[in-house]
Amino acid sequence: MKKYWPILLAGALLFTLFVPEAKGASASLSLEDDEFYISVDPSDPEQGYLEINGQVKGEFDRLTEALNVQLSVNITEEYDGEPTGRYWACDATFDDETVTPEETLLNYNQRSADFTVLLSPDLYDPEGGDIIVPPGLSPLIEGKMVLTMSYTGTNEGNDVEIASIFPDYYHLINLTTPTDPIEVRAGNKLNYTLRLKNAGNEPEDVMIEIPVLEDLEADGWTTSLSIDRVLGMKPGEEVRPVLLLEAPKEISFDSNLDLKIRAYTLDINPDTEEPLSSKDLEIELRLIHSKVTDPITDDDDDDDIVETPESSPYAVVAVIAILVILSLVVIILLFVKRGGGDEGDDEDLYSAPVRI
């Protein structure tokens, strides 16, 4: 047996020279992508919900090696590249049966494990400080996700993956105004202030349409809409068009009128050939049989009011002149009468006293 020892020793020496040294067990982390989009549409039941899939892979040199792998995740909200101070609620858990949801065991026979990073409103914890992804976020917002995997066991180490989560683009037009049924009589004036808002996160060209207005005008109504189109409406922008209606002077019979108001985007969804977003309102006008009575006019001349013309200064002067002349005539007559005697007696004529 001793004669084989040199051969065995030589073989062991050659094995150590040509076989690389074992590095020990290790694990690596991977995600399905490095950019993701999440719905922030308030009308979407999946708003704020996102699943991101990934996998942890282990590398082992010996049958006896094993690793205890743990996951942790953090998402920081940033606006235009600057942190806002808010963090989105999320967790990272392994899909299969594991030690705990965030922890699993890898070994020579079980070398990989799938996991899911979840964002959901159900994860919101008021005591935890993190928030659910808010609705209506601007596309300038970004969730910076940092996913960390660490392992211990026959070896120790960690791996980090970074990904970005962006708010998905969405289109949402809101239109509101009081819609309670209202009774309308002949000559009544109605004033409706509409509140039109771009609640989406993209600029929109928006149209307001009230098809019944043309029919109303043909029936004697007076109508006016201050704004029927808004171009380049910014996200969050609100305008307040005013709708004015004046009923005709006669409503022939009782009836109901449905006043339908619609706002919609001019851009069309190519899949449905419908506006990207629209909003409809309906107001019930209860028309009451009535008539505007004209004011009563009186054509009797005896009761007419006669206006007194203004006095003219020339008329006043003429009246005064006439009075002066009459006074002079009276004086002359008195003077002649008091003279008396013979007509040839001029001395008596002029000596008669006159008292004015």
Q: Does any domain span residue 309?
A: no
Nearest CA to 42 among 200, 264, 277? 200
Residue 7: which pLDDT band, with cuts at 50, 70 and 90? low
Claim to verify: residue 26 and residue 147 sit in the same structural domain: yes
pLDDT of 134: 94
pLDDT of 311: 44
Question: In the Cβ-directed half-sphere of 182, how many Cα atoms lie within 13 Å?
Answer: 15
Claim to verify: residue 30 and residue 160 sit in the same structural domain: yes
pLDDT of 293: 86
Question: In the Cβ-directed half-sphere of 290, how many Cα atoms lie within 13 Å?
Answer: 13
- Residue 39, domain CATH: 2.60.40.2910
pLDDT tens sequence across 138-190: 999 999 999 999 999 999 999 999 999 999 999 999 999 999 999 999 999 99
Residue 13: which pLDDT band, with cuts at 50, 70 and 90? very low
Final residue in a domain of this structure, among 167, 191, 216: 167
* Res 36 pLDDT > 50: yes
* Res 261 pLDDT > 50: yes
Structure-model confidence comparison of residues 98 and 70, the more confident one: 70
> How many domains does the chain contain in total?
3
The identity of residue 172, as a single letter, is L
pLDDT of 64: 92
Claim to verify: residue 152 and residue 178 sit in the same structural domain: no
Final residue in a domain of this structure, among 260, 288, 316: 288
What is the C-alpha to C-alpha distance for residues 227 and 196, in angstroms, rounded to an integer?
10
What does DSSP assign to residue 335?
H
Sequence-distant (6+) residues with CB within 8 A of 37 are: 165, 166, 167, 168
Percent of the chain with pLDDT over 90: 72
Return the minimum-mean-pLDDT range out of 217-221, 255-259, 282-286, 296-300: 296-300
Q: Does any domain span residue 182?
A: yes
* Res 124 pLDDT > 50: yes
Q: What is the pTM of this model?
A: 0.66
* Res 34 pLDDT > 50: yes
What value does the mean pLDDT of the chain take?
Answer: 84
* 89 three-class SS: coil
Sequence-distant (6+) residues with CB within 8 A of 228 are: 207, 208, 209, 241
pLDDT tens sequence across 215-238: 999 999 999 999 999 999 999 999
Residue 127: which pLDDT band, with cuts at 50, 70 and 90? confident
pLDDT of 308: 32
Sequence-distant (6+) residues with CB within 8 A of 15 are: none
Claim to verify: residue 39 and residue 148 sit in the same structural domain: yes
What is the C-alpha to C-alpha distance for residues 31 and 33, in angstroms, rounded to an integer?
5
Residue 80: which pLDDT band, with cuts at 50, 70 and 90? very high
Final residue in a domain of this structure, among 288, 303, 338: 288
Residue 4: which pLDDT band, with cuts at 50, 70 and 90? low
Percent of the chain with pLDDT over 70: 78
Q: Does any domain span residue 1?
A: no
Return the minimum-mean-pLDDT range out of 123-127, 142-146, 285-289: 123-127
What is the domain extent for residue 237? 173-288
Claim to verify: residue 27 and residue 158 sit in the same structural domain: yes
Q: Does any domain span residue 317?
A: no
Q: Does any domain span residue 304?
A: no
